[in-house]
Amino acid sequence: MSALSRSLVAVSLAAALTVAGARATPASADGPTGARPSARVATSTTSVVLSTTRSAYGQTVTATAAVATSTGRADGDVYVSVDGVASKVNLSATGSATVVLPDAPVGDHAVTATFVPQFPVDQQGSTSPAQAWTVGQVRTRLFVDVQGRGLRIPTVVRVEAGGEYGSTPTGRVTITLERIGTGRTTVRTKVLPREGVVEARYGRLPRGGYRSVVTYAGDAEHLPEKRVQRFRVRQR
């Protein structure tokens, strides 16, 4: 995966095809224009296969394009497009190319691959049928750390939220602290910042058992989650 970059530059497929068309201009009387004359133009077929057609937000998905021509090796580039936004990929000697798809929002997407030949007078371009790609909400992981827990030491409940594949959730986290056996609860609501970490400070708590219930509300990309942490405040 280290050899495949997520940060491929988005390019205009229309511009690429325009360039390819320019290469096809016949030679003038004054000399060649860069196109190689050919008696026969080879046809091509392009296909694209996804590593998975259903993924969670932030999950790595690759697209492998393959180009076959009627006369042998395909000579040119492939543009892999997600909803019309294309990334240029160089073809290997075997006529295939693999790229990591960029992160896409939750929803349905269409992925295609288009072959743009280096010499259109020799080979025809082609576009694959669209492959459907569905991105769903990702599981949210909550890490709860209760610090302090002493009669003379303030208690702090620290919550870190993260998507299963490294994304950072947004939205509200509710921390409900209950003193077991008394029915007394304290509720704190926090909004997750960019780093995905919030803290609820409770000062010095009386001796006894406590239950901290952390509830994340979820957002467009991340599923709701709940975590319960029990602890005791002791003499220190």
pLDDT digits (tens, 9 = 90+) for 117-176: 999 999 999 999 999 999 999 999 999 999 998 888 899 999 999 999 999 999 999 999
Supply the pLDDT for residue 236. Answer: 63
Burial of 75 (0-12, 13-18, 19+ CB in 10 A): middle
Q: Domain boundary at 136, 157, 172, which?
A: 136
Residues 14 and 122 in one domain: yes
Beta bridge partners of 137: none
pLDDT digits (tens, 9 = 90+) for 207-220: 999 999 999 999 99
Across the chain, mean pLDDT equals 86
Residues 123 and 48 in one domain: yes
Contact by Cβ (8 Å): 37, 63: no
Share of the chain above pLDDT 90, in %: 75
Asked whether residue 42 carries a pLDDT value surpassing 50, the answer given is yes
Residues 130 and 156 in one domain: no
- What kind and span of H or E run contains 209? strand 208-216
Asked whether residue 47 carries a pLDDT value surpassing 70, the answer given is yes
Supply the pLDDT for residue 223. Answer: 98
Span 61-71, average pLDDT: 94
Residues 106 and 151 in one domain: no
Residues 112 and 196 in one domain: no
Residue 201, domain extent: 140-233
